């Protein structure tokens, strides 16, 4: 018997606006697609929040014993500047500005993306397909949509006919918009605009001579529209209808709305059972976004080199901070919020690491089984990680009382508690103990001890420039030295 057979999960489905009981199409198996990054710049912390929400969901499903095929794509073509319908490709623009091949841009920022995700302890998705690797599949879908009568070719570009589609289907059902309102609120088509209606969106765009990212097609040299890649890759790897489609809230319209329209127009089926949308990370109350400069990079947080925060924070601590908010709530990042979160994180980790050594007795003053059930209940309620964390602190309280000798715990209950904490803290939330694995800790301790010794020698020689440099550079890496009567000790944040 798998764990999932004992649980009823409810998810907030953006398509219906309701919390619904989650029931996958094939028992025991889950197909999940999440829109990945457009790899033309370093991922900021906001991007990471959305991916982290789905990493947590992926982790929980796996913990429950589901076989999950998790597809998260890389957008390496077709996404135009300002998410517009016309203009320059984001990647081509960066390539032009930096005098690189577009694929050099793609490679550079894909590597950056993977490095950052690894620091945050993400699990790799099952498949990470690219838009450029699926041009043929995209062309096939366009042919299909044209054949069904929902797209038209004009001047070597192909557009989706939203007005015609809306006669037999419902364009706007995900975002709650009505086509009539959209039409009423948009300007008349400009004279040079070749679309039939301003709401129509590109499936294929002809490449102007200067456009470097181009592929041959039945309609001439060009490139696919941004929305099409996700339809092509999700259908190819998960089927015409699959369980979960995720992404940031900002992708609901037009990106996901267009995905639904493309799938329904080409094969007549609604592509997704449950649409899950993660909410935004804000900084100074405004959406974190690269384009407005209101952003912070994960590397700047880990090193402490930024103008926003007073100190460095470790990846696992930042992950804990994110998990303290529900994935559908807006989360604002600030120095105070991170400092408060760090206190909690340290308390949790200290309790877990001290648990091994606490003595056991004949009774337990804590109902471990009902506590464990409440941890599952929290996660089953649309992945409510803040409630789960509150439950984890209930356990911390008891561990500390046992440590003090005020309460006791039996050997069996202690084992159950250890296993449950391991599952939720490390497997599901994806946190790592303060300084990573033991091997890493030992090495780090050795290296810092050596630096402490060198600093001591420098001070004895009155070489304060060197001794200060050692202290400050360690501090910028998040390693604080503390001088005391017994010598110098260090702590890692």
The site for ligand AMP (CB under 6 A) is made up of 35, 37-38, 46-47, 49-50, 247-248, 250-251, 280-281, 287-289
Name which of Zn ion, ligand AMP, none residue 280 binds, using a CB cut-off of 5 to 8 Å depending on partner kind. ligand AMP
| Closest approach of ligand AMP to the CB of residue 53, in Å | 8
Shortest reach from residue 150's CB to ligand AMP, in Å? 25
- Minimal distance in Å, beta carbon 224 to ligand AMP? 15
- With contacts defined by CB under 5 A, how many residues of the chain interact with Zn ion? 2
Residue 132 or 166: the one with the smaller Cβ distance to ligand AMP is 132
Bridge partners (DSSP) of residue 32 are: 70, 244
Question: Of these partners, Zn ion, ligand AMP, none, which one is at the site of residue 217 (CB under 5 to 8 Å by kind)?
Answer: none
354: number of Cβ within 10 Å: 14
DSSP string over 206-274: EPPTT--S-B--TT-SEEE-HHHHHHHHHHHHH-SSEEEEEEEGGGIIIIIHHHHHHHHHHHSS--EEE
Interface of this chain with Zn ion, residues 218 to 277, rule: CB under 5 A: 230
Q: Does 141 bind Zn ion (CB under 5 A)?
A: no
The Cα–Cα gap between 370 and 342 comes to: 28
Structure tokens given for 385: 């990680």
Give 37 or 298: the residue with its C-beta nearer to ligand AMP: 37
Specify the pairing of strand 151-154 against strand 242-248.
Answer: unpaired
> Closest separation between CB of residue 107 and Zn ion, Å?
21
Tracing tokens 């765009």 back to the chain, one arrives at 205
Nearest distance from C-beta of residue 79 to ligand AMP, angstroms: 7
Residue closer to ligand AMP by CB (options 49, 227) is: 49
Question: Residue 206: which of ligand AMP, Zn ion, none does it interact with, CB under 5 to 8 A by kind?
Answer: none
Strand 29-34 and strand 67-72: the pairing is: parallel
86 binds, among ligand AMP, Zn ion, none (CB under 5 to 8 A by kind): none
325 binds, among ligand AMP, Zn ion, none (CB under 5 to 8 A by kind): none
Q: Which is nearer to Zn ion, 135 or 402 (CB)?
A: 135
Whether the CB-CB separation of 404 and 293 falls below 8 Å is answered with: no
Dist CA 460 CA 467 (whole Å): 10
From the list Zn ion, ligand AMP, none, which binds 46 (C-beta under 5 to 8 Å, kind-based)? ligand AMP
Of 10 and 287, CB closest to ligand AMP: 287
* Nearest distance from C-beta of residue 183 to ligand AMP, angstroms: 26
Structure letter (DSSP) for residue 312: -
**In Å, what is the CA distance from 33 to each residue of 76, 260, 362, 373?**
17, 13, 49, 29
State phi, psi for 19 to the nearest 5 degrees.
-85, 125
Provide the CA 283 distance to its chain's centre, in angstroms: 17
Locate 412 and state its tokens. Answer: 């069996």
C-beta of 91 vs 470, nearer to ligand AMP: 91
CB of 325 to ligand AMP, least distance (A): 11
| Cα–Cα nearest to 248, from 43, 18, 426, 41 | 43
Burial of 379 (0-12, 13-18, 19+ CB in 10 A): buried
Nearer to ligand AMP, 48 or 421 (CB): 48
Helices (H) and strands (E) in the chain, counts: 16, 15
Binding-site partner at residue 230 among ligand AMP, Zn ion, none, CB < 5 to 8 Å by type? Zn ion
Structure-block tokens of residue 68: 């999950």
Query: Which of Zn ion, ligand AMP, none sits in contact with 50, Cβ below 5 to 8 A by type?
Result: ligand AMP
Distance CA 126, CA 356 (A): 34
Quick check: 290 and 93 in contact, CB under 8 A? no
Q: Which is nearer to ligand AMP, 251 or 348 (CB)?
A: 251
Closer residue to Zn ion (CB): 214 or 245: 245
CA distance 188 to 204: 22
Query: Can you list the alpha helix ranges (DSSP code H) found in 362-426?
Result: 368-380, 385-404, 411-421
> Coil, strand or helix: which one is 98?
helix
Rounded least distance, CB 54 to Zn ion, Å: 13
Q: Which of 287, 380, 385, 285 is nearest to 328 (CA)?
A: 385
Smallest distance, ligand AMP to C-beta of residue 322, A: 10
Cβ proximity to ligand AMP: between 40 and 165 the closer is: 40
| Least CB distance to ligand AMP at residue 254 (A) | 13
How many beta carbons lie within 10 A of that of residue 126, not counting itself?
15
Nearest position to ligand AMP, beta carbon: 248
Least distance to ligand AMP from the beta carbon of 113, Å? 9
Hey, which residues between 22 and 81 contact Zn ion (CB under 5 A)? Answer: 35
Sites for Zn ion among residues 398-417 (CB under 5 A): none
Q: Which is nearer to ligand AMP, 49 or 69 (CB)?
A: 49
Identity of the residue, 272 or 355, whose beta carbon is nearer to Zn ion in the bound complex: 272
Q: What are 113's two structure tokens?
A: 């993306």
Q: Which of 328, 275, 225, 257 is nearest to 33 (CA)?
A: 275
430 binds, among Zn ion, ligand AMP, none (CB under 5 to 8 A by kind): none
Q: Residue 47 binds which one of Zn ion, ligand AMP, none, with CB within 5 to 8 A depending on kind?
A: ligand AMP
Nearest distance, CB of residue 252 and ligand AMP, angstroms: 9
Instruction: By CB under 5 A, name the binding residues for Zn ion.
Output: 35, 230
């Amino acid at each position: 018997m798998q764990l999932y057979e004992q649980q009823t999960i409810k998810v907030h489905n953006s398509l219906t606006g309701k919390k619904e009981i989650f029931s996958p199409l094939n028992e025991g198996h889950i197909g999940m697609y999440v829109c990945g990054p457009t790899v033309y710049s370093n991922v900021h912390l906001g991007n990471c929040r959305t991916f982290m929400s789905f990493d947590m969901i992926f982790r929980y499903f796996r913990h429950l014993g589901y076989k999950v095929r998790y597809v998260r794509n890389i957008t390496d073509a077709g996404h135009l500047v300002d998410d517009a319908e016309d203009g320059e490709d984001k990647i081509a623009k960066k390539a032009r500005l930096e005098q690189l091949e577009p694929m050099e841009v793609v490679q550079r920022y894909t590597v950056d993306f993977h490095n950052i995700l690894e620091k945050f302890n993400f699990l790799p998705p099952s498949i990470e397909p690219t838009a450029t690797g699926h041009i043929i599949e995209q062309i096939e879908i366009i042919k299909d949509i044209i054949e069904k009568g929902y797209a038209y070719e004009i001047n070597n570009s192909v557009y989706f006919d939203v007005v015609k589609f809306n006669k037999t289907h419902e364009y706007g059902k995900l975002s709650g918009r009505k086509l009539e309102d959209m039409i009423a609120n948009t300007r008349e088509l400009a004279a040079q605009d070749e679309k039939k209606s301003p709401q129509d969106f590109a499936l294929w765009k002809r490449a102007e001579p200067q456009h470097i990212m181009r592929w041959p097609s039945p309609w001439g040299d060009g490139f696919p529209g941004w929305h099409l890649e996700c339809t092509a890759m999700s259908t190819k790897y998960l089927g015409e209808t699959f369980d979960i489609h995720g992404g940031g809230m900002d992708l609901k319209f037009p990106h996901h709305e267009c995905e639904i329209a493309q799938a329904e127009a080409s094969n007549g089926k609604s592509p997704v059972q449950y649409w899950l949308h993660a909410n935004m990370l804000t900084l100074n109350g405004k959406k974190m976004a690269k384009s407005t400069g209101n952003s912070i990079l994960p590397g700047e947080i880990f090193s402490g080199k930024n103008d926003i925060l007073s100190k460095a924070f470790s990846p696992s601590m930042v992950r804990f901070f994110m998990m303290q908010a529900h994935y559908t709530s807006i989360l604002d990042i600030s120095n105070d919020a991170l400092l408060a979160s760090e206190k909690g994180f340290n308390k949790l980790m200290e309790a877990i690491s001290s648990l091994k050594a606490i003595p056991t007795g004949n009774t337990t003053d804590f109902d471990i089984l009902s506590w464990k059930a409440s941890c599952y209940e929290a996660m089953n309620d649309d992945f409510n990680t803040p409630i789960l964390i509150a439950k984890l602190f209930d356990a911390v309280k008891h561990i500390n009382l046992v440590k003090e000798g005020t309460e006791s715990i039996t050997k069996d209950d202690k084992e159950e508690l250890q296993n449950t904490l391991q599952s939720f803290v490390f497997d599901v939330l994806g946190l790592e103990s303060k300084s990573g694995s033991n091997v890493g800790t030992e090495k780090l301790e050795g290296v810092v001890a050596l630096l402490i010794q060198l600093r001591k020698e420098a001070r004895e020689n009155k070489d304060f420039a060197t001794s200060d440099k050692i202290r400050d550079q360690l501090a910028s890496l998040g390693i604080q030295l503390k001088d005391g009567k017994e010598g110098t000790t260090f702590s890692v944040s």
